[in-house]
Amino acid sequence: MRIALLVLSIVLALPCAGPLAAEIHVPADQPTIQAAVTEAGDGDVIVIAKGKYKEDVTISGKSNLTLRPDGAVKVEMRGTGSFNDPAIFIDVSNNVIVQGLKFKKTKGDAIYVANSQATIDACTFKSIGFAAIRLQVTTGCVV
């Protein structure tokens, strides 16, 4: 009887647990990092395959999102070449983690964090146009 009640309570609690975090692989699941960010829900992990990515990525209104390479591969972010656009812009987001990416030859900022909480971990920066990491109106950022 107790086991039946325990199983029933677990089954009834599952719908309340919320969605599980997903891994979104670039380019296998989404063709670009921006497409993966747009598709991502709270708690998701974007896993980026080896390569050079020339795109500007905006992360806005996300919580508990992680961007990281697929294992020990080299992922190089270059941005589109605009002086005004960072390679990664994090705005109005909580607990965004950017981990293990290489930023090279960006004309603007490599990472710009505004009104957000973010962790920048084990990233490298070379030949950056403006700031490697720019923080504006942020709290709780870890670099």
Q: What is the pLDDT of residue 18?
A: 53
Mean pLDDT of the chain: 88
Q: What is the pLDDT of residue 82?
A: 78
Q: Report the predicted TM-score, pTM, of the whole model to 2 decimal places.
A: 0.85
DSSP state letters, 22-36: -EEEETTTSSSHHHH
Please determine, for residue 17, whether its predicted confidence score (pLDDT) is greater than 60. no
**Per-residue pLDDT tens over the stretch 21-49:** 899 999 999 999 999 999 999 999 999 99
Q: What is the pLDDT of residue 119?
A: 97
- CA-based nearest residue to 59, from 30, 94, 27: 94
Q: What is the pLDDT of residue 11?
A: 41
DSSP state letters, the chain: -HHHHHHHHHHHHGGGG-PPP-EEEETTTSSSHHHHHHH--TT-EEEE-SEEE---EEEES-BS-EEEESTT--EEE---S-SS--SEEEES-BSEEEES-EEES-SS-SEEEESS-EEEES-EEES-SS-SEEEES-SS-B-
Residues paired with residue 112 on neighbouring β-strands, in sequence order? 89, 134
**Per-residue pLDDT tens over the stretch 51-90:** 999 999 999 999 999 999 999 999 999 988 777 889 999 9
Please determine, for residue 15, whether its predicted confidence score (pLDDT) is greater than 70. no
- CA-based nearest residue to 55, from 67, 65, 43: 67
Say which amino acid occupies 39: E
Q: Give the residue with greater pLDDT, 42 vs 15.
A: 42
Q: What is the pLDDT of residue 67?
A: 98
CA atoms of 101 and 13, how far apart (whole Å) = 38
Please determine, for residue 110, whether its predicted confidence score (pLDDT) is greater than 90. yes
